[in-house]
Structure 1
């Protein structure tokens, strides 16, 4: 487990799969910025049985409030490469918090903890995150978590029937 002041991150357990399944296709939970269409729950359960949803290629952890041990969301990571060699590997992270637990600093802490974990476990130089250009709360959270705004990828994301600009943030080892 990765502990912060307000939250901790932990791997999923078998009994968490029902909670996550309820979030997968729930546009109210995911918000307009994280809903990319309907997904199949069975794929997640199959992957959980294979590796617990934690691996070098990608992974998912739960965000849990420290004061209540209540699951308030999840955070994930996946590998990206900017060249053909292993040295060009980076991780991209994303987070979803239930609506009643947003704007409490949980996202800031979760993103900071996940970046620290990825730097500690993998020989990478960079962790990155992307968000919709209109998602100002997430941009503030990333900046508070120590990420630096790099720029805008124009019309890079297809979501909710339209193309959207996304803002790229990164955190480098040692920052």
Structure 2
């Protein structure tokens, strides 16, 4: 298992991952608009992410098992001086849930955030209901710092968002 940045050469693999997990992501409350799955729109969206990487605004990693995308781990909303921080987010394919891939993938990206991207801090949030995601963050040394009440709408229900941070 390894991570690699989104680039023009791996977009077809990413598209397959997104299409294969479309129903699952919708079931857990994180659907994408149907236009996202139109290939040309998917490419335009992905080119925007590649541009953000070039401009040091975000880094969008694919979690790879051999040559297959099994998840995405992103560092987005990067703010440099004086904060030098980014927001960590991730989504894993349905078939790999609960097997330690998320914990290992986040560990790899946290290491890159510190060594390659020279960030000082990562922040992350997860719904109060998403205990596995909270475990991934805690196993990677993130600490809980607060809760936003009724912050995220998932499947028609407003859920609290648990906030985490990690000083790198």
TM-score, normalising length: structure 1: 0.77
- CA shift, 1:167, in A, is 0.6
Provide the rounded CA distance (Å) in 2 between the counterparts of 1:51 and 1:151.
29
Q: Which residue of 2 aligns with 1:76?
A: 74
Q: Which residue of 2 aligns with 1:10?
A: 4
Provide the rounded CA distance (Å) in 2 between the counterparts of 1:77 and 1:142.
14
Structure 2: which 5+ runs fail to align? Answer: none
Matches within 5 A, 1:1-175: 7-12=1-6, 13-22=10-19, 26-29=22-25, 31-33=27-29, 35-38=30-33, 40-41=35-36, 42-49=40-47, 52=50, 55=53, 56-65=56-65, 68-79=66-77, 81=79, 86-173=81-168
- 1:75, 1:96 within 8 Å by CA — same for their partners in 2? yes
Q: Which residue of 2 aligns with 1:3?
A: none
Please state whether the residue corresponding to 2:64 is helix, strand or coil.
strand
Provide the rounded CA distance (Å) in 2 between the counterparts of 1:59 and 1:30.
24
- CA shift, 1:30, in A, is 5.7
Runs of 4+ aligned structure 1 residues displaced above 6 Å come to: none
Structure 1: which 5+ runs fail to align? Answer: 1-6
- 2:25, 2:31 within 8 Å by CA — same for their partners in 1? no
Supply the RMSD in Å over aligned alpha carbons. 2.5
Please state whether the residue corresponding to 1:139 is helix, strand or coil.
helix
Provide the rounded CA distance (Å) in 2 between the counterparts of 1:53 and 1:61.
14
> Is the alpha carbon distance of 1:153 and 1:97 closer, same or farther for their aligned partners in structure 2, counting shifts above 3 Å?
same
- CA shift, 1:122, in A, is 3.3
